[in-house]
């Protein structure tokens, strides 16, 4: 059957892959910023403390492999992910450094995959340790593992005071090798460090007990970005596990400026249409915004299905032509509207910046997070795959040749 004559064949129409990735909306990733941030964090650590780059959730939305390579260049010696699939993605991309799966793997098949790919699972219980041991014995080599202690996060991990007994049992099992003992801070971004101190104290009690029992813990690690930026070497042990700071963001206002970090992600989109309307016109679903003056409204091709938080409707601002312009009306699935009345130069095809730097300033994930009553982590992870990730900076120049 031939195509109707009004439909051109693929030799005439570009396929979606041929479309310019900067056509509608996109995310720019400055790999150099990740390398520099990593180096700054690395250099701030106590000399004996190594750096694990946390690249879970597709490198907090930046692209896990891109981030891992950039962080490795900046001095990260290992990687933390949440899921088995995320870990395998790193291996398939040729990343051969130690990879710790921070999430819970519950199936023997998942532990067999860890053995196969040389990944380290986190263990939180004796039953998991027994399965890991069986997997190692059946596979003919030791499965390397980290044991997690719950010192106050009340999520994964064996209760801290049961840690030494579990480690004692683990030491007697064939087929597994303990590479690390760790815990996770629940409140390190709080200027009041009471909970952090309690967790540190519990972690230290366990480590002291292990030493008394002559059990070797492998790498001892506790701190996340906030624990690391706090700058207290007693939190840093043999390694820190850092995510957010490597992407260029401070985990809390009081930790801003501890290190000179540069956000690695920018989000930009194009104006697809500009229209002039009189005063008194309702904009977008529900008419939550009504123009108060004759207005020039610009439609921008990005929406909540791309990761722009809908609850920021009528509160978001964007950068264009060196100005901050207000977003008006409800943010819709694929589009939003900005009030460009005070920016007569703005026209169709122009680029607006939703996050990141542009002439006239910068907008950080923390600004969105504050407005939306959430955290920068969620904002960064929220940008969907519909937005192409494009390298910028020196890296992009090298790639484009």
Ligand X SMILES: Cc1ncc(COP(=O)(O)O)c(C=O)c1O
The contact set with ligand X (CB under 6 A) reads 54, 80, 102, 184, 224-226, 241-244, 251
Q: How far is the CB of 225 from ligand X (least distance, A)?
A: 3
Contact 76, 113 (CB under 8 A): no
Q: How far is the CB of 244 from ligand X (least distance, A)?
A: 4
Q: How far is the CB of 303 from ligand X (least distance, A)?
A: 27
349, exposed or middle or buried, with CB in 10 Å at 0-12, 13-18, 19+? exposed
Query: Alpha helices, DSSP H only, in 161-300?
Result: 163-171, 194-212, 225-229
330 is an active site residue: no
Q: Which is nearer to ligand X, 242 or 309 (CB)?
A: 242
Residue (of 229, 234, 236) closest to 256 by Cα position: 229
If phi over 0 gives left and psi between -120 and 50 gives alpha, with beta otherwise, what is residue 237? left
Q: How far is the CB of 82 from ligand X (least distance, A)?
A: 7
Residues 6 or more apart in contact with residue 66 via CB below 8 angstroms:
29, 31, 34, 59, 389, 391
262, exposed or middle or buried, with CB in 10 Å at 0-12, 13-18, 19+? middle
Contact 80, 241 (CB under 8 A): yes
Q: Which is nearer to ligand X, 242 or 387 (CB)?
A: 242
Backbone angles phi, psi at 262, to 5 degrees: -120, 125
Residue (of 45, 42, 22, 139) closest to 396 by Cα position: 22
285 is an active site residue: yes
Q: Which is nearer to ligand X, 24 or 184 (CB)?
A: 184
Q: Which is nearer to ligand X, 224 or 295 (CB)?
A: 224
Which tokens in the block code for residue 10?
């693929």
Q: Which is nearer to ligand X, 121 or 329 (CB)?
A: 121
Q: How far is the CB of 240 from ligand X (least distance, A)?
A: 8
Q: Which one is catalytic: 60, 148, 182, 285?
A: 285
- Please name the residue that has the structure tokens 């930046």: 62
Q: Which one is catalytic: 56, 60, 148, 304?
A: 56
Annotated active-site positions, please? 56, 285
């Amino acid at each position: 059957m031939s195509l109707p004559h009004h439909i051109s064949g693929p030799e005439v129409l570009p396929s979606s892959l041929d479309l310019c990735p900067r056509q509608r909306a996109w995310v720019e990733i400055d790999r150099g910023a990740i390398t520099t941030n990593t180096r700054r964090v690395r250099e701030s650590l106590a000399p004996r403390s190594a750096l694990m780059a946390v690249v879970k959730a597709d490198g907090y939305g930046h692209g896990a492999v891109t981030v891992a390579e950039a962080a490795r260049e900046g001095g990260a010696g290992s990687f933390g992910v949440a899921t088995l699939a995320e870990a395998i993605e790193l291996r398939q991309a040729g990343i051969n450094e130690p990879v710790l799966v921070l999430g819970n793997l519950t199936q023997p098949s998942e532990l067999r995959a860890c053995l196969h790919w040389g990944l380290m699972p986190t263990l939180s219980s004796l039953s998991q340790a027994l399965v890991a041991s069986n997997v190692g014995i059946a596979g003919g080599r030791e499965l390397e593992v980290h044991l997690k202690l719950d010192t106050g996060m009340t999520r994964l991990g064996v209760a801290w005071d049961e840690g030494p007994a579990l480690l004692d049992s683990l030491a007697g099992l064939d087929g597994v090798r303990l590479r690390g003992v760790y815990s996770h801070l629940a409140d390190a971004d709080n200027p009041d460090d009471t909970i952090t101190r309690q967790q540190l104290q519990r972690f230290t009690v366990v480590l002291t007990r292990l030493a008394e029992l002559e059990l070797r813990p492998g790498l001892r690690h506790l701190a996340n970005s906030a624990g690391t930026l706090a700058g207290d070497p007693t939190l840093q042990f043999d390694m820190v596990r850092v995510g957010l700071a490597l992407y260029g963001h401070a985990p809390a206002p009081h930790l801003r400026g501890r290190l000179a970090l540069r956000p690695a992600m920018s989000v930009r989109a194009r104006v697809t249409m500009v229209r002039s309307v009189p005063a008194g016109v309702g904009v977008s679903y529900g008419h939550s915004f009504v123009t108060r003056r004759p207005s020039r409204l610009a439609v921008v091709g990005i929406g909540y299905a791309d990761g722009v938080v809908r609850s920021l409707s009528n509160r978001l601002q964007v950068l264009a032509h060196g100005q901050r312009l207000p977003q008006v009306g409800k943010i819709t699935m694929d589009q939003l509207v900005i009030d460009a009345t005070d920016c007569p130069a703005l026209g169709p095809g122009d680029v607006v910046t939703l996050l990141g730097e542009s002439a006239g300033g910068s907008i950080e994930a923390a600004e969105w997070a504050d407005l939306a009553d959430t955290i920068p982590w969620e904002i960064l992870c929220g940008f969907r795959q519909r937005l192409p990730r494009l390298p910028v900076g020196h890296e992009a120049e090298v790639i484009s040749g």
